[in-house]
Amino acid sequence: MSQVLVVNASIQGDNGNSSALTAHYIAQLSDATIIQRALTPNTVPALSGAEMGAWMTEASDRTSEQAELAKISDDLIAEVQAADTIVVGMPMYNFGAPSTFKAWVDHIARAGVTFRYTENGPEGLLADKKVIVAIASGGKYKDTPMDTLTPWLRTFFNFLGLSDVHFVYAEGLAMGEPEAVLNAAKAELEALV
């Protein structure tokens, strides 16, 4: 049975347009274990120096506070490692990703765990898996220099060793006909199942 990790970052929770897209994708799956990771500042706080210090301290030498801090990243990485497919609900907020999603990125990029540096440059350490990013935005940016999300996310996932990355866009949600836009994106997601 395949395992699917759903990472949602909408501040509207399940009511977000991006969350509706990831929900639609998993509704098409008949035989999969679904792990839901709804990002909030409480569950995935911004990365701190203390937390990185905990990563760099041998597990056996960590204080109890460091052990707690390291666990945040350990748990998020374990979810990613266990997944065959990662589905991301990606709202555009202020021309970029939600801060909670950036925090998730900062927690799963860990030298020696999910990537390493070699003589030939960085090498991703995650086994390849399918990544689907469903972008929801009020305006339209695809294929223009204002699309800050696609190149960044492709680079980031490639950096970790994930090259099978697909993007689905629900753009122009604030420009009329949001239902038609969402339905078209849902049809594209169905094709990716």
Ligand X SMILES: Cc1cc2nc3c(=O)[nH]c(=O)nc-3n(C[C@H](O)[C@H](O)[C@H](O)COP(=O)(O)O)c2cc1C
CB of 186 to ligand X, least distance (A): 14
Do the beta carbons of residue 192 and residue 132 sit within 8 Å?
yes
CB closer to ligand X out of 51 and 147? 147
* Near ligand X by CB under 6 A: residue from 4, 5, 69, 173: 173
For residue 114, state whether it binds ligand X (rule: CB under 6 A).
Answer: no
For residue 99, state whether it binds ligand X (rule: CB under 6 A).
Answer: no
For residue 149, state whether it binds ligand X (rule: CB under 6 A).
Answer: no
CB of 90 to ligand X, least distance (A): 8
CB of 99 to ligand X, least distance (A): 10
DSSP string over the chain: -EEEEEEE--TTGGGSHHHHHHHHHHHT-SSEEEEEEE--TTTSPPP-HHHHHHHTS-GGG--HHHHHHHHHHHHHHHHHHH-SEEEEEEE-BTTB--HHHHHHHHHH--BTTTEEEETTEEEE-SPP-EEEEEEE-SS--TTSTT--HHHHHHHHHHHTT--EEEEEEE--TTSS-HHHHHHHHHHHHHHT-
CB of 15 to ligand X, least distance (A): 7
For residue 22, state whether it binds ligand X (rule: CB under 6 A).
Answer: no
For residue 95, state whether it binds ligand X (rule: CB under 6 A).
Answer: yes
**Contact characters 129-148, ligand X, x per CB under 6 A:** -------xxxx---------
Q: Name residues contacting ligand X, limited to 62-91 (CB under 6 A).
A: 91
Q: Which residues here bind ligand X, judged by CB under 6 A?
A: 10-12, 16-19, 91-95, 136-139, 173-174
